[in-house]
Amino acid sequence: MIDTYLSPAEFKRLLSALLVVIGFICIAGFFGFTVLPGLRYQAHTGPEATVVAVQGETGWLDPTDYPVMAREVIPPIDPATVMTPNAPLMVRGKAVYAQSCATCHGPEGKGDGPAGTGLTPKPRNFTEKVAWKNGTRLEDIYKTLDEGLKGSSMVSYNHLTKKDRMALAHVVQSLGAFDHGASDPQALATLEKLFASAGEVVPNRIPVARAVDALCREYAEAQSTPPASTIR
């Protein structure tokens, strides 16, 4: 029946245009999944809560957007430089905490950050030893940063480098004056091996706005280019 209304050439043009649209939708969907972590501060947020724009890692909620960063290859790390707190590591950890955690957990770790107002459950109060799901030991906190916590707005922070996650774990411990418990020697040995045995690659990063512009430009170019079957 369709050939009653469309010639074979018109049908091919229509099919080509449809494929372009489907391809764009697939690309947009994939891109959406790559930036959704930037919406972590809106997870479980009630209608009464005001979510503050966060200087985050993705730029999704950051009005200044994420700066361009070139791909970086990080070699294995000497465990002695990260397994115990030291001045440079704590300085770095406090900077990461202020950028990525304080908005929900508060500047002093009391769980009173402005973006945590409507979160359910409430952000962890790091100053109190109460109901920590994974525990309060160094390896426990690192696990939480690496994997996140299901059923909460605490997502994985594995987009941070391993060294930054460890620096952050030390800072989180420092916010509570209570006894965090003795670490499991086997768990510490596993962490040490993780740092010493393998490096990591930080991929290229560009501002979200630039990525959106690139996708729109590619789509517009695809729309303006006639299908190959129509070129004589």
Task: With a cut of 80, say whether residue 183 has pLDDT above it.
Answer: yes
CA angle at residue 94 from 53 to 67, to 5 degrees? 50
23-31 contacts, C-beta under 8 A, 24 or more apart: 23/222, 24/215, 24/219, 24/222, 27/215, 28/215, 31/211, 31/212, 31/215
Q: Give Cβ neighbours of residue 229 (< 8 Å, ≥ 6 apart).
A: 9, 12, 13, 16
Phi, psi (degrees; rounded to nearest 5) at 132: -75, 120
Q: Are 171 and 90 in contact (CB under 8 A)?
A: yes
pLDDT for residue 14: 65
* CA dist list (Å): 214 to 87, 219, 226: 42, 9, 20
Mean pLDDT of 184-212: 84
List pLDDT tens digits, range 140-180: 999 999 999 988 889 999 888 999 999 999 999 999 999 99
Q: Which residues pair with 72 in a beta bridge?
A: 202
**Confidence class of residue 182 from pLDDT cuts 50, 70 and 90?**
very high
Identify residue 105 by its one-letter amino acid code: H
Among the listed residues 213, 209, 230, 227, the one whose alpha carbon sits nearest the alpha carbon of residue 66: 209
Phi, psi (degrees; rounded to nearest 5) at 63: -60, -25
Domain ranges of the chain: 2-38+208-230, 72-202
**Confidence class of residue 221 from pLDDT cuts 50, 70 and 90?**
confident
Q: Are 82 and 188 in contact (CB under 8 A)?
A: no
Let me know if domain 72-202 sits in CATH 3.40.1360.10.
no
pLDDT for residue 211: 76
pLDDT for residue 65: 56
Residue 188: other Cβ atoms inside 10 A? 15
Tokens at 75, concatenated: 């070699």
List pLDDT tens digits, range 108-123: 999 999 998 888 889 9
List pLDDT tens digits, range 38-70: 444 444 444 444 444 444 444 444 444 556 667
Q: Are 175 and 152 in contact (CB under 8 A)?
A: no
Q: Are 61 and 53 in contact (CB under 8 A)?
A: yes
Tokens at 202, concatenated: 């930080």
Q: How far apart are CA 31 and CA 14, in angstroms?
A: 26
Q: Which residues pair with 205 in a beta bridge?
A: 69
Which pTM was predicted?
0.62
